[in-house]
Structure formats: C-alpha cells, structure tokens
Structure 1
C-alpha cells in the first residue's frame, strides 16, 4: 500500500481514506468541524508519539533475549542460550570447585606479606605495576606520585618466596643483612629508593599504568584548583616531565580506565592509538594517543549526573556507571551510547567479568551484584531472581509494612534491573572501596567497610559463594582504595592491596 499523497493545506484521514481541508476555526454543523489547525496538530503529534513508541518497542524486542519465568525451564533456556551465542557451559568442577581450590593457599597464610612498608612521607593510597620491568608506581599521601624500581638480579640476596623463617631460621641466604626477624618483609623492592615523579594540585582519584606504551595516567578530584588528567612516560621523560589536561566545565574527575592489551590469547593488540576513558562530573571523556606519542582529548558523552565508575568491555566498548544508578554503554566507533540497566544505589565500581556481556557492579548500601546486559528483566513473582517476594518480605516484614512493600515493588518493577548474582558485601556509604576481578580463576575480591572486622572478602564469580574472609588488623583503620590481582615471577596469581598505608600481597596458591 502506497503512502497517501501530501497536499498542502489538507489533512489525510486514515479512517475515512480521503483528504479534508484544514480550517482555521471550527464551523459547527459541518463535516469538517474537527479538521482545524489545532485538532490536526494534536492528531499529528499523537501519531508521531505512537510511531516513536512502536519503533522503540520493536528495537527492544529485537535486542533483548527473553528468558522464561519458571524454574523448570531455566536449564533448558541456558542450554539454548549457550548454543545461540556459540559457547558451552563449563563443568561443575570449573564453576564450583576450581575457584575454591584457587584460594586454598590463603588458608595456610598466617599474615599478609608486605610488598612495601608505609613510607615516612605519607600513606600509599593507589598503586600500579609495570608487568614487564616490575617497577612499582604509587600515590603517596594525597597528591604525590612516586616510583620504586625492582632490585637488580646482581644486588643483595633475598629470601625465596616459599621461605618460612619461623620453621627454619638457618635457611636464610648468605649475606642477609637484617637476620630472621626481617626476612619475611624483605623482597625485590626493599633496597631501592622512592623516586619522585610528580606532585599534582589536588587529591589523586586514580592511577593507571598502560603497559602497551609505557604511559602513566593519573586523575585528580579537584578542589580550589581544577581537576586534571596527568599523562607521562616515566621511563623516557623522567621526573616532572608530563602532559596535563584540564577539561572545561569539569569540577571533579572520579576515575579512569584503560583497555587491556589483549582479551584472549588469540587476539591482536591495538597498534594504532591507545585510549583512556575518564569518568568526570556529568560527562564521559576519551583520551587517545597517536603512534607519534601525542595525546588528544575529546568529550565523548554528556550525562545528566556524575559518571562515578567505568571499565572497558572490549577494545571499542566502555561501560559506565552513574550516581543515579544508571549503567550505560558507549561505542568508540559509532560514538553512540545507550542506557542498559539501573542499579538501585549510586555506583562506586564497575569491572568486566569473564565475558563482554557480564559485569560486576559495586555500589552503596552493601550492594555488590553480577549483571548480564543481555538479561535486563526486573521484578517478577515467578522468577527466581534477587528481587522476589522473599526479598521484599525480608526488607519490610510484618503486615503493617504491606503498603511500603507494594510501593517498593512497583518501583523495582519499573526501574531496577535484576542481577544474576548478589554477593554478601559490607559498604554503607564509602565511595572509594575497590574491587578486583580475576576472570580466569573465577574470583571477585572486594574491600569491606572500614568499621567491619573483615578487610577483604573473596567470592566465587560464578556461584556467588563467599570463599575467604581476610580479617582486619585492629590497628589498621585506613580505607582499602586499591585491589589488584597480580602475577609473581613464576606466573602464580597473587592479590595485592593497600593495607594501612602500605602495600601487601596474598598468595592464592
């Protein structure tokens, strides 16, 4: 069927299938009384709105995988979904037993091992490490960036990693200068000094080392001085040589994230430009580096509220979380964005999980969830999800809270997204507690509230089970702002963390 011909000054009525002349004013008693400019304008506006709703619904249906709402069909649906996306479900051993076995080494650990002690000129808030040279970069105090190199192989002999001084004091290597009492604190960073690299104008909010090009990036919160993005090549340029950007109309920069060099053993690292995504007040910004080494800044997205956390799902896709709980995606190729999910509380950290469609989201009010962007369903009575009747009955028990349960349930059904897993977490109102994800081992580590007796919790990423609790030392009352999974010289995984102003490591095996 062809579209009706457009005639200036006439309106086509789809019901009567004919054109009517548009009148300036209604003439009572005539067939054209309703075809005035005002009525025709309202009809055209309603038609445009209905067309917009139809297109939006069709797009959502096309891009959404609808999962069944019954427990009986859940297993069949998972098999169908895995077949559709071309993957296989892993065995119970990989999802259930393997992560628990990976943290078994922590059961034998009597105390954490220090990588570097607390420096005399301030506590360490953030750190990162060059995976090739093992050089350690750290934020001392509020705004100082320092570097500590690794002890050369021909330097002072160090104890081996598996040395137990209490059981065998005589096993210390010849030439150990401080005796058995200090052997457990000596490592490859013990005898090198801290080199000053830069001192910024306000408190630092993030520190990232980019191993692909050897660049070091830092962001500041801003105060009486504007927030800045610090970029340098510390091995080439040396101390106090850097490039700083001061974004316009940007009061605060909350953090930054860089894409990993490779997402799989078969992937090819990007060779054209290197990117850095920055979470700022009411905006998402991108910094691109050309092969010549110059950095370029651009405003990627303007938002209605602060972007508090972000991460890279792929080399071209950024996921970001906002203060109002919104989770969105940004594509660097098309420069398009979309709202994907809604977290019930302000988001503090976002991390990519084991797949580009899954992410770990940490927020206030003790919320730590695993989301799948393909499944955005909200509350359903028959669905075995997090937001169920049991959840609301637990939150608001008793018959006198029936109205509050109903109101919250309606809000959830409209706004909140259903998580795949909910981890037991403790963080009421701290915006800076960090989380870390190890997708190969299926582990999630999360720093806990400073008033909690537990400092760090480690979970199974695939089942949500709590695997290990690392107790907090009574004298340590410093926020854990940095958690990272690292590899030692043998390739074994370790968990590194800020700890009372110092940096410690915990072996997983």
Structure 2
C-alpha cells in the first residue's frame, strides 16, 4: 500500500516524476523553471480547485434526483408540470437561462492590431464612440504618441475595421501614460494621463461627435485648450454622468473627487475632499446626482451633488477596485483578495467602522446580497470588469488569461472552462491515440477558431480591458442604429476583439 509522500521543508514532491525538487526563489530561478515558489503555489491552488470541483460533481451526480425518461416527452412532461404547478417560469429562472443562452451565442471577431503600427507595447485600455464607431486605443509607450484613433470602414453596424491598418491618427497626450478613458452621453471624451511618478497629471476633455447633428465621424485629436494639470497626484479612474443633457465627469484624484462640468464651451472644476485619506480606485454614478467612490481602505462612500454631503454606505472585505451599477438599488463591488460581491442598497448600513483595516484578520464588512463564487483575481484594474444588465452577465479577466462570465442573478460561473480535458477512456489501437491527441491539441490551440466558447478561449497575453456595449448605451445616429444585440469588447496584448452574437 503506497503511503503519502513526506513533506520536506524547501522541497516539492512531483507526483508524476516521483522525485523531490528544491523550491527556487522567483528572482533566482532560471527562465522556464517549473519549481519556483509562484509556480508551486499555482499548482497547489489548481489541484485544490480541481479536487473541489470533482467532489462537487460527484455529489451532484449521486444526490440529484433524476427525472423519468417518460417526463422527457414534450407533451407528457410539460402537461404534468403544468398540472402540478411546477412549470419553471419564474423570472429568476428565465433570467438565468437567458444569460447562459447569450453567452453561448457570442463569437469572436478581431477589430484592430496595433502591431501593424510598429507599436511594440500592449493595449492598456480603449473606448469606442457609440455614435460614430471611432475606436480609441491607448498604448503606454515611451514615445510621443500613446492614443490611436481608428475609424470604421463603414457606418453600418456591426462596425468593422481594417485589421492591419497603418493609417490611424496619433492623438498627442505629451509623454504620459493614459490612465482612463470615458465617453459621456453628450459626445464628450475625457482622457486622463500621468507618468508613473505622478509628477505630471493631465486631464483633457474633447468633443468626439455631436449627437444632435448627423455629420460623419472625423479623426480624434486631444484638444490642448481644455487640459487641466494636477502635478503631485495620481488619477486612477473616471466616469461620465449618465445624464443626456449635462456634460459632467467625475475623476478619482488620489484621495479626492474631481468634478469637471462643461457649460457651453467652458469647463469648470471642483475638488471634493473625502473624509478618509485613502486613495480612490473606483468611481460610478448611481444617479445623475449621486456618485459612488470605492477606496483602498475598503469603504464605499456616496457623494450627493445637491446637498454636497458625503455618507459611508458600505464596507467591503478588502480594498475596492471596481464599482458597477446594476439597477437603482443593486451595485457590484470588486476588491482585492478574490472578493466580488453584490450589495442591495435597500438594506441598512452594517459592518462599518471609522478606521477600517482590511489587511487585518479582525476586519469586518457589510453583509453582501450576493457573492460571486469562483472569482479569481487578487488585484483588478479599473477596466478589467464590466456588466451587462440586459443579458444578466458579468465579465472579468482572470489570472489564467481567460474571460470569466458570471450570472448577475445567481452569482454562479457560466460555462466554466474544464480544468482537466475530457479524454476517452480507451482507444481502438495505440496508433490512433497520439493522432487523436495531436488533432485535439491543434484544435484547442488554434486562435482563429470561431466556435470556441468565450470562457474557454485562452488569450496569449494578459487581458487589460473589458467593456460591454449595452443597448441602452448605443443610440441611433448617422443612420446606423444599433444591431439589437449587446457585445463585449476585449483587449489583450496588441489586439482588440469583439465578442458579438
């Protein structure tokens, strides 16, 4: 009877090779080493996750009551369910299955590739004008350009771009890195940029298109006359006001909120000092008059433009990096250490302290309305998560360079990728087995396959930005209209792709 291998400090036992290997430090290990501390940590996490999934699948298969084959008949089964009043027609049931159906219909389409412009740097973030289709792509370079503007080939949707287009506009934003891009409902764009040290911080506002006129789109250039400088600070996030009549942007500037309001052709700025000194990493509008701010000390604070007062509403389990509004009562908050929760604002405030310390075990938090189990990110940037209330989907990046989809109704993972490829138990002959494996490996690794599910597709580089285009945010302009189908735009490495139905 084989006994379990003995654990030796500083060594890792490889079950496949049946040998002990010395654990190497991350900085001292040679390239390609399989036994570094980070690599062994990932192996243990994957093994533990695989074990949990196998145990859960085993419990489901043994404890689930299976329906009779007679009830699979469309006539007999549905009539019996209707007779007993068990026909699944609740709103949550329909919403959950609608989210799964929408996820299965998404197919991948490549939009632009910045390597054709001799850019050796990855795409950091992007934004698309919902009226003209002008795709703005930010690449953090050390050169004199870091924002590219791509116009679609035609005005008809779905928009297509010249994949290897070499003629695109370079919008000059000094030598800084673009930290946020926000397009408002009134057709204005806000670009914030800064250098890594924070010595130079610039915020620019420019007109992309005017929704009231029907003129075609033109190449975008940053307007230097509406640029505001804030040296010695850092800008992590920005968000446009959802009002269709007012041009207002809110910016998270270090530990303060900065409001930029456009009146005719003039812009006014107002700095709001928050009660806490923690950095603001996420901003979101709950209503056209209420702003939510997520902070590194785990607090979510609300600011009312009418009363000019601040209130602490939530306390997350860890630092907050993203806030998204689901509806007028529910919000999704993503934080560090794999914490992704949904909160219902109709519940009273709870678990709030004056000086939260999220890095300590004694830290308490507000009870969430819904928890998204399986969320894998320890750290998340402001653009790596988005939601689509119309389809009931939440999309985010993951450390495995795959897209994770969650249901906004249940919090469950949708179409999780298999940890272990399903292999047949036996093959007719030994010669067929390697051929089948090679064919299967070629199919999985082929990046041009369009039938790969969105959650199973492995990007060759880290996912840096995710943006849903929802129907409520896509108006009818320039005779284009919308396609009636939400889509998901993703950037990874030098490419920007669109998953659409």
Q: TM-score, normalised by structure 2?
A: 0.62
1:245 equivalent in alignment to 2:225: no
Q: Which residue of 2 aligns with 1:466?
A: 413
Of the three residues 145, 150, 156, the one matched with 2:152 is 150
Q: Which residue of 2 aligns with 1:484?
A: 468
CA distance in structure 2 between the aligned counterparts of 1:238 and 1:95, rounded to whole angstroms:
39
Residues 28-107 of structure 1 correspond to what in structure 2 (within 5 A)? 91-106=91-106
CA distance in structure 1 between the aligned counterparts of 2:349 and 2:269, rounded to whole angstroms:
37
Of the three residues 490, 494, 497, the one matched with 1:497 is 490
CA distance in structure 1 between the aligned counterparts of 2:310 and 2:320, rounded to whole angstroms:
18
Of the three residues 289, 294, 305, the one matched with 1:316 is 289
Say which SS state the counterpart of residue 97 (structure 2) adopts.
helix
Q: Which residue of 2 aligns with 1:209?
A: 183
CA distance in structure 2 between the aligned counterparts of 1:481 and 1:306, rounded to whole angstroms:
21
| Greater Cα offset, 229-238 or 432-441 | 229-238
Report the CA distance shift for 1:117/1:468 in structure 2 as closer, same or farther (over 3 A): farther
Of the three residues 257, 260, 264, the one matched with 1:284 is 257
Give the structure, 1 or 2, with the largest relative contact order (CA under 8 Å, sep 6 or more): 2
Say which SS state the counterpart of residue 199 (structure 1) adopts.
coil
Report the CA distance shift for 1:364/1:223 in structure 2 as closer, same or farther (over 3 A): same
Counting matched residue pairs gives 340
Q: Which residue of 1 aligns with 2:338?
A: 366
Q: Which residue of 2 aligns with 1:298?
A: 270
Say which SS state the counterpart of residue 490 (structure 1) adopts.
coil
| Greater Cα offset, 186-195 or 339-348 | 186-195
Alignment deviations for residues 357-407 of structure 1 (CA, whole Å, 9 cap, x no partner) = 21111111011111112225658xxxxxxxxxxxxxxxxxxxxxxxxxxx9
Q: Which residue of 1 aligns with 2:192?
A: 219
CA distance in structure 2 between the aligned counterparts of 1:445 and 1:231, rounded to whole angstroms:
28
Alignment deviations for residues 257-278 of structure 1 (CA, whole Å, 9 cap, x no partner) = 01234xxxxxxx3x3x311000
Of the three residues 195, 211, 215, the one matched with 2:169 is 195
Alignment deviations for residues 77-113 of structure 1 (CA, whole Å, 9 cap, x no partner) = xxxxxxxxxxxx972333332222222214xx4xx32
Say which SS state the counterpart of residue 367 (structure 2) adopts.
coil
**Residue 472 (structure 1) shift:** 7.0
Q: Which residue of 1 aligns with 2:205?
A: 231
Of the three residues 421, 425, 431, the one matched with 2:370 is 421
**Residue 448 (structure 1) shift:** 1.2
Say which SS state the counterpart of residue 464 (structure 2) adopts.
coil
CA distance in structure 1 between the aligned counterparts of 2:254 and 2:328, rounded to whole angstroms:
26
CA distance in structure 1 between the aligned counterparts of 2:260 and 2:135, rounded to whole angstroms:
24
Report the CA distance shift for 1:478/1:200 in structure 2 as closer, same or farther (over 3 A): farther
CA distance in structure 2 between the aligned counterparts of 1:498 and 1:206, rounded to whole angstroms:
14
CA distance in structure 1 between the aligned counterparts of 2:319 and 2:233, rounded to whole angstroms:
19
Q: Which runs of 5+ in 2 are unaligned?
A: 1-88, 210-217, 352-359, 417-453, 475-481
**Residue 418 (structure 1) shift:** 0.7
8 A Cα contact 1:289 1:295, kept in partner: yes
Say which SS state the counterpart of residue 318 (structure 1) adopts.
strand
Say which SS state the counterpart of residue 468 (structure 1) adopts.
coil
Q: Which runs of 5+ in 1 are unaligned?
A: 1-88, 155-159, 162-185, 262-268, 380-406
CA distance in structure 1 between the aligned counterparts of 2:380 and 2:288, rounded to whole angstroms:
30
**Residue 348 (structure 1) shift:** 0.9
